[in-house]
Amino acid sequence: MLVGRPNVGKSTLSNRLAGNRRSIVTAVPGTTRDIIAQVVEWQGRRFELVDTGGMFGASADPLHALVLERGQRALAAADLLVLVVDGRDGLLPGDAEIAEAIRAVDRPAMMAVNKMDDRRARDASLEFYQLGFDPVFEISAEHGQGVGDLLDGIVQRLGLRPPAIEVEAESDDAPDAEAAPRTRTGETSVAIVGRPNAGKSSLVNRLLREERMIVSDVPGTTRDTVDSLLTWHRRQFRIVDTAGIRKAGRVSRGGQVETLSVMLARRAIEAADVVVLVVDATQGATDQDAAIAGEADRMGRSVLIVANKWDLMKDRGPDFSKEFDETLRRQLKFLDYAPVLHISAATGERTPKLLEAIDRVMVARLTRVKTPELNRFLEAVTTAHPPASPGQTHVRILYAAQTGVAPPTFVFFTNVATKFHFSYDRFLVNQLREAFGFLGTPIRLQVRRRERKPRKGRQEGR
- Amino acid identity of residue 248, one-letter, is A
- Shared-domain flag, residues 10 and 153: yes
Signed CA dihedral, 277, 281, 287, 288: sign only: negative
- Shared-domain flag, residues 130 and 85: yes
Q: Is residue 177 part of a domain?
A: no
Quote the CA–CA distance of 136 and 113 in Å, as a whole number.
7
List alpha helices for 299-439, DSSP H. Answer: 320-331, 351-365, 371-384, 422-436
- Shared-domain flag, residues 43 and 85: yes
Q: How far is CA 110 from CA 15, 138, 171, in A?
A: 19, 11, 49
CB 26 within 8 A of CB 254: no
- pLDDT at residue 357 in the model: 96
Quote the CA–CA distance of 205 and 346 in Å, as a whole number.
10
Give the pTM.
0.66
- Shared-domain flag, residues 332 and 199: yes
Q: Is residue 96 part of a domain?
A: yes
Mean pLDDT, range 16-23, rounded to an integer: 73
Q: Is residue 354 part of a domain?
A: yes
* Phi, psi for residue 319 in degrees, rounded to 5: -95, 0
Quote the CA–CA distance of 295 and 293 in Å, as a whole number.
5
Quote the CA–CA distance of 15 and 141 in Å, as a whole number.
9
- pLDDT at residue 452 in the model: 61
The residue from 309, 339, 365 where one domain ends is 365
The residue from 365, 395, 430 where one domain ends is 365
Q: Is residue 232 part of a domain?
A: yes
Structural domains in the chain (count): 3
Q: Could you tell me the residue range of the domain that residue 414 belongs to?
A: 371-449
Q: Is residue 340 part of a domain?
A: yes
Q: Residue 416: which CATH number?
A: 3.30.300.20
Q: Is residue 454 part of a domain?
A: no
Confidence band of 240 (pLDDT split at 50, 70, 90): confident
Q: Is residue 172 part of a domain?
A: no
- pLDDT at residue 241 in the model: 82
- Shared-domain flag, residues 329 and 273: yes
CB 123 within 8 A of CB 113: no
Confidence band of 257 (pLDDT split at 50, 70, 90): very low
Q: How many helices (H) and strands (E) does the chain have?
A: 13, 15
Q: Is residue 129 part of a domain?
A: yes
* Phi, psi for residue 114 in degrees, rounded to 5: -90, 165
The closest of 42, 54, 72, 55 to 157, measured between CA atoms, is 42
Kindly list the strands in the beta sheet with 409-414, ordered across the sheet, starting from the edge strand earlier in the chain. Answer: 397-404, 409-414, 444-449
- Dihedral angle at the C-alpha atoms of 258, 259, 265, 268, nearest 10 degrees? -140
Q: What share of the chain is helix, strand, coil (3-state, %, to 5)?
A: 35, 20, 45
Average of per-residue pLDDT values in the chain: 80
Q: How far is CA 265 from CA 193, 225, 282, 306, in A?
A: 8, 6, 24, 18
**SS3 call for 153:** helix
Q: How far is CA 31 from CA 219, 222, 245, in A?
A: 15, 10, 17
The residue from 344, 365, 386 where one domain ends is 365
* DSSP letter for each residue of 1-31: -EE-STTSSHHHHHHHHHTS--S---SSTT-
- Shared-domain flag, residues 52 and 76: yes
| Each residue's pLDDT tens digit, 320-346 | 999 999 999 999 988 999 999 999 999
Cis, peptide link before residue 135, omega less than 30° from 0: yes
CB 205 within 8 A of CB 198: no
299 pLDDT more than 60 = yes
CB 410 within 8 A of CB 446: yes
The closest of 254, 181, 249 to 223, measured between CA atoms, is 254
Kindly list the strands in the beta sheet with 226-232, ordered across the sheet, starting from the edge strand earlier in the chain. Answer: 226-232, 235-241, 187-194, 274-280, 302-308, 340-342
CB 356 within 8 A of CB 274: no
Element (H, E) at 55: none
Quote the CA–CA distance of 42 and 151 in Å, as a whole number.
7
* DSSP letter for each residue of 289-320: HHHHHHHHHHTT-EEEEEEE-GGGSGGG-TTH
151 pLDDT more than 90 = yes
69 pLDDT more than 70 = no
* DSSP letter for each residue of 211-238: --S---SSTT---S-EEEEEEETTEEEE
- Shared-domain flag, residues 209 and 315: yes
22 pLDDT more than 50 = yes
The closest of 228, 187, 236, 186 to 204, measured between CA atoms, is 228
- pLDDT at residue 35 in the model: 66
Mean pLDDT, range 285-311, rounded to an integer: 92
- Shared-domain flag, residues 191 and 136: no
55 pLDDT more than 70 = no
- Shared-domain flag, residues 198 and 293: yes
- Shared-domain flag, residues 233 and 334: yes
CB 14 within 8 A of CB 216: no
Q: Residue 20: which CATH number?
A: 3.40.50.300
Confidence band of 245 (pLDDT split at 50, 70, 90): low
CB 67 within 8 A of CB 54: yes
- Shared-domain flag, residues 193 and 263: yes
CB 235 within 8 A of CB 273: no
| Each residue's pLDDT tens digit, 401-430 | 999 999 999 999 998 867 888 899 999 999
**SS3 call for 246:** coil
Mean pLDDT, range 313-320, rounded to an integer: 84
- Shared-domain flag, residues 242 and 336: yes
